[in-house]
Amino acid sequence: MKHVIFSTLLLVTAAPAFSQSKFPKNELSINGFRNPSIGLEYHHRQVSVHAGYYTTAFKKGEYTNFFKAGVTYWFAPVDSKEIPSSFYAGASYLRGLTRDYKDENAVAVEAGFRWIIWKGLNFRIGAIAVAAQGQSLKVNPTPGISYSFKF
């Protein structure tokens, strides 16, 4: 877990400072699938906060569900679109709703890339590491699809 946290912090601090000007001042995302959760996300320049329902399969065919809320840092934009495609790293609090995690607290760190496909439609791919007391560290892929509005 220490290595995952250290890697996330390294990615965040290595981001170029000039990239902040390339991100919209305010953005709202409606997240429709898994990453970061099925819910809402508010972006202010390079930082966003999110909350919603998160589901993942730690075992094939067995989905574990959580309430998830967290913060994400966006860096290294790769294009000049109105909302740029970019890399991200974040941390979240999870509250288990089902299976071994029911009524249990967990923390997660994740990192990945958001690709703006068309206007505000975007696809994310990344990885998440979930840690909870009494559970082994779980690492899973985190695909996602969202629509973002700049305002």
Q: What are phi and psi of 9, to 5 degrees?
A: -65, -40
Kindly report the CATH number assigned to the domain that includes residue 82.
2.40.160
Predicted TM-score (pTM) of this structure: 0.85
**49 vs 9: CA distance, rounded Å:** 17
Tokens of 58: 């730690």
Range of the domain at 145: 2-20+28-150
How confident is the chain (151 residues) per 10-residue block, as mean pLDDT?
53 49 93 95 98 95 97 96 96 97 98 96 98 97 96 93
What is the structure's pLDDT at 2?
A: 54
Q: What are phi and psi of 126, to 5 degrees?
A: -165, -165
What is the structure's pLDDT at 18?
A: 45
Residue 104 in contact with residue 133, Cβ under 8 Å? Answer: yes
DSSP 44-113: ETTEEEEEEEEEEEEETTEEEEEEEEEEEEEE---S-SSS--EEEEEEEEEEE-SGGGTT-EEEEEEEEE
Residue 95 in contact with residue 66, Cβ under 8 Å? Answer: yes
The total number of structural domains that make up the chain: 1
